[in-house]
Amino acid sequence: MSELASEPSGTMLAEDAAAACRVRQSRMIGLARNTQVIQRRSPGNGRYLPSPRVSREPRIHEVRRLRDMLRAAVHGEQFRDGILPSEAELMSAHGLSRATVREALALLRNEGLIERTQGIGTQAIVHSVSTAWAEAHGAAEPAKDSMFNRRMRPRMIDRSIVTVPTTVAGRLQVPAGTPCLRLEYVALVEEEAMALATNYVLFPEAAKLRDAPFVSDWYAFMAEAGVELSETEFVFGCELADAPLATVLGVREGAPLISMEQLIYDRDGRPFDLAFIHTCGERFRFVSRVFKELS
């Protein structure tokens, strides 16, 4: 009898189970609140990234702001002889702590923009090239200091007659298998690789470019060969340098690149050249300025 009396009843078991369930639910809710939500995003980079959170830590934003200002100054070559101000000067000029300044400089160093050497200081190690938007389109005469003013030199990779690939054919509005000139080169500025371009050029323009001297930029190359254009179109994107691109461009794997697809049209509005271009994001900048008509 005493053994039977000591055993829990069905009602007590049910109440205990319900209580345990409530505890588990409470723990799950707490875990959900403290766990970063992972959102499924388009698998363009093959990864799932955590959903962004805006930090309330002031120093994080101070580091970011200083990094942005210094990066722009490095690209704009605003520092004499490429030497950045000292940590003390940056602290005084921006009202920041030494830890904040050092963290911002560390970010720039990890990007490959600066190097810090004892006895010399912090020095910019990248030289950016800027080009006006109209010059990039081939729609304006290049400025005196523009890279399109005989400052560029091509290093040829391929120059051969091939059949237009299916995906390229659609963009050029011709049947797949149409003959074309594939001309691929690395654009060098002051002997430093700036971009890799692969062009698919239709005939009759291809006939003029096939054996023509190619000594400067693409627009000078076409003009000297007697190829005229009426308009150009760019589609821009961003990517990270994979191993093949890093090898060709002489950058570290994972370096930021500007990816471009360019279509060039003849006087009748017919597309005759499709180019796939990978430009070093650390070495190249577009400058675009538009004037608004005032009433």
Domain of residue 78, CATH code: 1.10.10.10
User: Is 6 inside a domain boundary?
Assistant: no
Q: What is the pTM of this model?
A: 0.71
The residue ranking higher by pLDDT, 105 or 142, is: 105
Is the same domain home to 176 and 200?
yes
Is the same domain home to 155 and 66?
no
* d(C-alpha 164, C-alpha 198), whole Å: 13
pLDDT-wise least confident of 10-19, 82-91, 144-153, 175-184:
10-19
Assign 183 a pLDDT band (cuts: 50, 70, 90): very high
Q: Are 279 and 192 in contact (CB under 8 A)?
A: no
Which pairs count as long-range contacts for 163-172, CB under 8 Å and 24+ apart, including other chains? 164/200, 164/202, 165/200, 168/200, 168/274, 171/261, 171/263, 171/271, 171/274, 172/200, 172/202, 172/271, 172/272, 172/274
Average pLDDT in the 60-70 region?
A: 93
User: How does the average pLDDT of the chain come out, rounded?
Assistant: 83
Final residue before a domain boundary, out of 84, 100, 124: 124
Assign 293 a pLDDT band (cuts: 50, 70, 90): confident
Q: Quick one: what percent of the chain has pLDDT higher than 70?
A: 77
Number of H helices and E strands in the chain, helices first, is 10, 10
pLDDT-wise least confident of 18-22, 187-191, 231-235, 257-261:
18-22
pLDDT of residue 145 exceeding 50, the answer is yes
The residue ranking higher by pLDDT, 247 or 285, is: 247
Q: What is the pLDDT of residue 119?
A: 81
Average pLDDT in the 129-139 region?
A: 73
User: Is 11 inside a domain boundary?
Assistant: no
Domain that holds residue 252: 129-287
Q: What is the pLDDT of residue 24?
A: 53
The encoded tokens of residue 150 equal 């005989």
pLDDT of residue 17 exceeding 70, the answer is no
pLDDT of residue 8 exceeding 70, the answer is no
pLDDT of residue 123 exceeding 70, the answer is yes
Q: Label residues 103-135 b or e (16+ Cβ within 10 Å = b).
A: bbbebbeebebbeeeeeeebebebebbebbeeb
Assign 38 a pLDDT band (cuts: 50, 70, 90): very low
The residue ranking higher by pLDDT, 272 or 81, is: 272
Is the same domain home to 235 and 89?
no
Count of structural domains, the chain: 2
Residues in contact with 70: Cβ distance below 8 Å, sequence separation at least 6, in sequence order: 84, 104, 105, 108
pLDDT of residue 37 exceeding 50, the answer is no
Is the same domain home to 109 and 148?
no
Average pLDDT in the 160-179 region?
A: 96
Q: Is the peptide bond before 204 cis (omega within 30 degrees of 0)?
A: yes
Distances (CA, A) of 290 to 18, 132, 173, 287, 293: 68, 11, 32, 10, 10
pLDDT of residue 18 exceeding 80, the answer is no
Average pLDDT in the 220-240 region?
A: 94
Assign 196 a pLDDT band (cuts: 50, 70, 90): very high
User: Is 210 inside a domain boundary?
Assistant: yes
Is the same domain home to 165 and 239?
yes
Q: What is the pLDDT of residue 131?
A: 75
Final residue before a domain boundary, out of 92, 108, 124: 124
User: Is 293 inside a domain boundary?
Assistant: no
Final residue before a domain boundary, out of 77, 103, 124: 124
Q: Which of 81, 74, 79, 122 is nearest to 102 (CA)?
A: 122
